[in-house]
């Protein structure tokens, strides 16, 4: 098997899962494409002679292989001895120099305190088990990327599990994936903050069954304190679909008290536009899916308001749903910042007031 020119020696299962002898899922290529480019952009931004990279849950080692282009020190680790055997084979076959480890990732990362500049954590399921050790291993000039496949709880299918694992209340409606992503970011930020380290989201997104959270780490108490302002709640009105990234006891549109509160969650931006635009400059032109995702994120991180699902909003105001592109164009003509969202093909993110969004949906509707 190969990916982007790197040879991998994993199990060839039709449906790779945690029971695979050595896990490799070709469908995660988008995640790896974005991660490779993010690491490269971060590497260009910091001034270190020895850029130390750790692929802490390597499986076949494919992430480590892909990061080898810009790593000066490369460590690959997996708890499964067969994975380590196969990733060593991959290192030889791809002619990559790296050190390999067969340890629990928590042990490995905790032993490498303040050591790594880029840490990749890609477990099966929840990331919570690895957050403390990742925070320990990060230093003042670090970048971390975490894949979370625990989207059921954080997007409201299992609210009790969400409260237990993340201490947050999720939402089960069209905003569930955005709420879920924000709960994950809050969790990463708070775990790092306990070590006086600050996690700043650079590019975070949700795709199919997983979320990817990537951000810069700094050892700055004052930065942590400032970012605490970005921990809060989302309020959603069941009567008119008004929403805000603040805790409000009443809807500010229809005055209803029939509102839901999700959180605590991250209320700041889910990415950094300058970082994402540098990634767009860096990404190979034929990595189409990743490029499309970056372009969407580049626009949508400019607006903080949770996105509107045009179909749900149209049904609320009792009209046929207009085209997403028509809604975007009309709002833009009116001078608002507006973008599509990667969360939903029929979603629009804008700084326009709620009443204006409703009016545009009514005026653009074909009914």
Which residues here bind ligand SAM, judged by CB under 6 A? 23-24, 28, 32, 57-60, 62-63, 78-80, 83, 104-105, 122-124
Q: Taking the complex as a whole, how short is the minimal distance between the CB of residue 83 and ligand SAM, in angstroms?
A: 5
Could you tell me the end-to-end alpha-carbon distance of the chain, in angstroms, rounded to an integer?
Answer: 52
Q: Taking the complex as a whole, how short is the minimal distance between the CB of residue 260 and Zn ion, in angstroms?
A: 11
Neighbours of 229 (CB within 10 A): 9
- The residue among 212 and 244 lying less far from ligand SAM, judged by its C-beta, is 212
Q: Taking the complex as a whole, how short is the minimal distance between the CB of residue 348 and ligand SAM, in angstroms?
A: 32
107, 225, 250, 256: residue in contact with Zn ion (rule CB under 5 A): 256
Residue whose structure tokens are 């708070």: 190
Question: Is residue 242 a contact residue for Zn ion (CB under 5 A)?
Answer: yes
Q: Taking the complex as a whole, how short is the minimal distance between the CB of residue 352 and ligand SAM, in angstroms?
A: 39
Residue 280: closest CA among 46, 6, 74, 38 = 38
Check the CA dihedral 207-233-141-301 and report its sign: positive
Q: Name the one range near Zn ion by CB under 5 A: 84-92, 251-259, 308-316, 329-337.
A: 251-259
Question: Is residue 316 a contact residue for Zn ion (CB under 5 A)?
Answer: no
Helices 354-364 and 324-333, packing angle to 10 deg: 120
List Cβ neighbours of 111 (8 Å cut-off, separation of 6 or more): none
| Binder of residue 242, out of Zn ion, ligand SAM, none (CB less than 5 to 8 A by kind) | Zn ion
Check the CA dihedral 166-168-173-175 and report its sign: negative
- Residue 129, phi then psi, degrees to nearest 5: -65, -20
- The residue among 62 and 185 lying less far from ligand SAM, judged by its C-beta, is 62
Q: Taking the complex as a whole, how short is the minimal distance between the CB of residue 362 and ligand SAM, in angstroms?
A: 46
129, 207, 247, 253: residue in contact with Zn ion (rule CB under 5 A): 253
CA distance 293 to 100: 32
Question: Is residue 62 a contact residue for Zn ion (CB under 5 A)?
Answer: no
Question: Is residue 250 a contact residue for Zn ion (CB under 5 A)?
Answer: no
Estimate to the nearest angstrom the gap between the alpha carbon of 182 and the chain centroid. Answer: 9
Question: Is residue 228 a contact residue for Zn ion (CB under 5 A)?
Answer: no
| Binder of residue 116, out of Zn ion, ligand SAM, none (CB less than 5 to 8 A by kind) | none
Instruction: Tell me if 364 sits within 8 A of 326, measured CB to CB.
Output: yes
List Cβ neighbours of 100 (8 Å cut-off, separation of 6 or more): 61, 75, 76, 77, 84, 87, 88, 91
254, 289, 333, 345: residue in contact with Zn ion (rule CB under 5 A): 254
- The residue among 214 and 251 lying less far from Zn ion, judged by its C-beta, is 251
- The residue among 123 and 201 lying less far from ligand SAM, judged by its C-beta, is 123
Q: Taking the complex as a whole, how short is the minimal distance between the CB of residue 251 and Zn ion, in angstroms?
A: 3
Question: Is residue 240 a contact residue for Zn ion (CB under 5 A)?
Answer: yes
Pairing label, strands 308-309, 243-244:
unpaired
Question: Is residue 237 a contact residue for Zn ion (CB under 5 A)?
Answer: yes
List Cβ neighbours of 353 (8 Å cut-off, separation of 6 or more): none
| Binder of residue 239, out of ligand SAM, Zn ion, none (CB less than 5 to 8 A by kind) | Zn ion
- The residue among 104 and 329 lying less far from ligand SAM, judged by its C-beta, is 104
Neighbours of 239 (CB within 10 A): 14
Question: Is residue 258 a contact residue for Zn ion (CB under 5 A)?
Answer: no
List Cβ neighbours of 213 (8 Å cut-off, separation of 6 or more): 127, 145, 146, 147, 148, 181, 184, 185, 188, 201, 204
Q: Taking the complex as a whole, how short is the minimal distance between the CB of residue 78 and ligand SAM, in angstroms?
A: 5
- The residue among 18 and 160 lying less far from ligand SAM, judged by its C-beta, is 18
| Binder of residue 346, out of Zn ion, ligand SAM, none (CB less than 5 to 8 A by kind) | none
| Residues that bind Zn ion in the complex, under the rule CB under 5 A | 237, 239-240, 242, 251, 253-254, 256
């Amino acid at each position: 098997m190969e990916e982007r020119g790197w040879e991998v020696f994993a199990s060839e299962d039709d449906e790779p899962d945690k029971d695979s002898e050595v896990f490799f899922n070709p469908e995660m290529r988008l995640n790896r494409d974005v991660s490779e480019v993010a690491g490269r952009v971060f590497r260009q931004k910091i001034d270190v002679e020895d850029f130390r990279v750790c692929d802490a849950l390597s499986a076949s080692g494919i992430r480590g292989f892909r990061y080898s282009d810009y790593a000066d020190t490369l460590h690959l680790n997996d708890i499964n001895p067969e994975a380590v055997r196969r990733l060593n084979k991959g290192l030889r076959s791809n002619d990559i120099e790296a050190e390999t480890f067969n340890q629990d990732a928590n042990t490995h990362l905790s032993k490498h305190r303040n050591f790594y500049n880029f840490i990749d954590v890609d477990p099966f399921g929840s990331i919570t088990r690895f957050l403390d050790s990742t925070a320990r291993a990060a230093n003042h000039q670090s970048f971390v990327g975490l894949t979370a496949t625990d989207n059921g709880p954080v997007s409201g299918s299992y609210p009790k599990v969400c409260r237990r694992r993340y201490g947050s209340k999720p939402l089960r409606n069209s905003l569930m994936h955005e709420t879920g992503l924000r709960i994950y970011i809050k969790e990463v930020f708070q775990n790092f903050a306990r070590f006086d380290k600050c996690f700043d989201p650079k590019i975070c997104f949700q795709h199919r069954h997983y979320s990817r959270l990537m951000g810069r780490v700094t050892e700055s108490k004052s930065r942590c304190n400032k970012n605490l302002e970005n921990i809060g709640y989302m309020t959603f009105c069941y009567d008119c679909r008004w929403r805000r990234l603040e805790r409000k006891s009443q809807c500010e549109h229809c005055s209803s008290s029939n509102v839901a509160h999700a959180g605590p969650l991250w209320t700041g931006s889910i990415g950094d536009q300058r970082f994402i635009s540098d990634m767009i400059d860096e990404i190979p032109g034929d990595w189409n899916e990743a490029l499309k995702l970056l372009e969407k994120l580049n626009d949508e991180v400019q607006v903080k308001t949770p996105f509107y699902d045009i179909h749900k909003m149209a049904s609320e105001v009792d009209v046929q749903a207009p085209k997403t592109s028509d809604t975007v164009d009309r709002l833009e003509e009116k001078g608002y910042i507006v973008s599509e969202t990667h969360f939903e093909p029929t979603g629009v993110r804008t700084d326009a007031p709620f009443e204006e969004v409703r009016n545009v949906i009514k005026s653009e509707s074909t009914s």
